[in-house]
Homo-oligomer: A and B are copies of this chain.
Amino acid sequence: MTTPPEPLTDHGLFDAVVNLCKRRGFVFPSAEIYGGIRSTYDYGPLGAQMLRNVREAWWRAMIQERDDVVPIDAAILTNPKVWEASGHLATFTDPLVDCRNCKERWRADQIDGACPNCGSTDLTEARPFNLMFKTFVGPVEEDASVAYLRPETAQGMFVNFLNVVTSMRRKPPFGIAQIGRAFRNEITPGNFVFRTREFEMMEMEFFVPPADSPRWLQYWCEERLAWYQRYGIASEKLRLRPHDTEELSHYSSGTTDVEFLFPWGWGELEGIANRTDYDLSAHEEHSGTTLEYFDQATGERYVPHVVEPAAGATRTMMAFLLAAYDEDEIGGERRTVLRLHPRIAPYQVAVLPLSKKEALTPLARDVLHRLQRYLMCEYDETQSIGRRYRRQDEIGTPYCVTVDFESLVDEQVTVRERDSTEQTRLPIDDVVHHLLERLDL
């Protein structure tokens, strides 16, 4: 019944997905009625649901299905000494130059000796510009009240290391994980939600005995690559890319990126780094608190090394959308379909009464309520059933349940599957079970 999709050009794919995101309520420019604010986005109803599903899928794999990782949820605005110790205050910078003529400011490594605005070559020396957003806590704007919006969630795990070890009675190897917003005052954000100043991270710090960090780095590279495949990205669109020595962050002895083949080329979804004992040792030094682990069994005492898989939730969502986007033909009619994994799709089920006639409403809503207990459902009763199927295909809903006039008599409904468009007639009492089984929920 379905014909193979025509391949989309990569540029066409990007435009198609960005357009779909806006039109169907995945992503809106932030405060669009005020002209937005550059490279800032609000997630609409479908995007908010999908982001939640991305978080949930990560939480499930990284925390729920394991017994060696625990979560935390740390403050965005914390003690600024954390950023002094982590090295962010000193080294988390981009080199900027000022044009002496027109006073514009540019990233030194992105211009060619002359101001892109006025053409002047009268530029200052490059100076480091810190990428952390700064604010003041309390009623007085003075140095003592400066605070920064966290540029990564990782430090929350390091400064809470001792508290977690003690309260949760943990010993290495074990991990602390966190999902949350982070902020970087990027000079050149862009590529839709790929690089934004405010973004959401899913990070885990895995604390291990020092000698074990290389093999744990290997382990987490494989685990994380498999996670993207598990949720529907084909393996040929994914790769692991180890960093060159000169590319490494100041804290890393080895980093491998999980990359996705974006329409503009390979781009990072996640970095998996061997942060060694860089962070814990730095916090030891700056706080004066011992952050060693004492192994009672072996009598060993050591500062654990840390392997960190750090993923971007919003760019992961974008990769899922790009990987899922497809166009094909059904019975001679062209359709757009998002072949999203059922756990990632915004809605798992749409309940569609065949017509708006009142006779169908009570039964259709009864079916809806049964399903809502377990699943995110859409209820849609306007326009032709074919058009409503297309609409659900376009937002990736894996199943539609149609209630028709026959349902009033035989207490059965039609379940339609998104990818195959196959329809199955089922007793209403079996629908919940039927769907939960197929949705792997």
Q: Which residues of B contact A242 (CB under 8 A)?
A: none
Contacts A37-B78, A78-B30 hold; do A72 and B45 have CB atoms under 8 A apart?
yes
Q: Which residues of B contact A438 (CB under 8 A)?
A: none
**In the complex the two chains form, is A140's CB within 8 Å of B105's CB?**
yes
A47 at the interface (CB under 8 A from B): yes
**In the complex the two chains form, is A51's CB within 8 Å of B78's CB?**
no
Pick from B74, B140, B149, B382: contact of A169, CB under 8 Å: B382
**In the complex the two chains form, is B75's CB within 8 Å of A41's CB?**
yes
Pick from B45, B156, B185, B377: contact of A42, CB under 8 Å: B156
Q: How far is the CA of A51 from the CA of B70 in the complex (A)?
A: 14
A373 at the interface (CB under 8 A from B): yes
Q: Which residues of B contact A191 (CB under 8 A)?
A: none
A31 nearest CB neighbor, chain B only: B79
Least distance between A57 CB and chain B CB atoms (Å): 13
**In the complex the two chains form, is B198's CB within 8 Å of A77's CB?**
yes
Q: Which residues of B contact A378 (CB under 8 A)?
A: 67
**In the complex the two chains form, is B167's CB within 8 Å of A25's CB?**
yes
Q: How far is the CA of A176 from the CA of B159 in the complex (A)?
A: 36
Segment touching B, from A5-13, A128-136, A216-224: A128-136
Most buried by B among A40, A72, A73: A73
**In the complex the two chains form, is B31's CB within 8 Å of A137's CB?**
no
A76 at the interface (CB under 8 A from B): yes
Bitwise interface map of A from 119 to 131 toward B, beta carbon under 8 Å scored 1, else 0 = 0000000000100
Bitwise interface map of A from 162 to 191 toward B, beta carbon under 8 Å scored 1, else 0 = 111001110000001010010101010000
Contacts A96-B139, A135-B134 hold; do A79 and B30 have CB atoms under 8 A apart?
yes
Q: How far is the CA of A234 from the CA of B135 in the complex (A)?
A: 41
Q: Which residues of B contact A339 (CB under 8 A)?
A: none
A235 at the interface (CB under 8 A from B): no
Bitwise interface map of A from 282 to 316 toward B, beta carbon under 8 Å scored 1, else 0 = 01001101010000000000000000000000000
**In the complex the two chains form, is B44's CB within 8 Å of A167's CB?**
yes
Q: Which residues of B contact A77 (CB under 8 A)?
A: 37, 40, 133, 183, 197-198
A32 at the interface (CB under 8 A from B): yes
Q: Using A37-B77, A40-B78 as known contacts, list a sample of 6 further A-B pairs with CB atoms less than 8 Å apart, ordered by residue number in A.
A: A25-B163, A30-B78, A44-B167, A47-B72, A133-B135, A134-B135
Query: What are 15 A-to-B residue pairs whose CB atoms are below 8 Å?
Result: A22-B167, A31-B79, A33-B162, A34-B159, A35-B79, A42-B75, A42-B160, A45-B71, A64-B376, A66-B372, A67-B378, A76-B183, A76-B198, A96-B139, A135-B149
| 7 shortest interchain CB distances as A-B pairs | A25-B167, A45-B70, A43-B73, A31-B79, A48-B73, A42-B74, A33-B287
Query: A residues near B, CB below 8 A?
Result: 22-25, 28, 30-37, 40-49, 51-52, 59, 64-67, 70-79, 81-82, 96, 105, 129, 133-140, 147, 149, 156, 159-160, 162-164, 167-169, 176, 178, 181, 183, 185, 187, 197-198, 283, 286-287, 289, 291, 368-369, 372-373, 375-379, 382
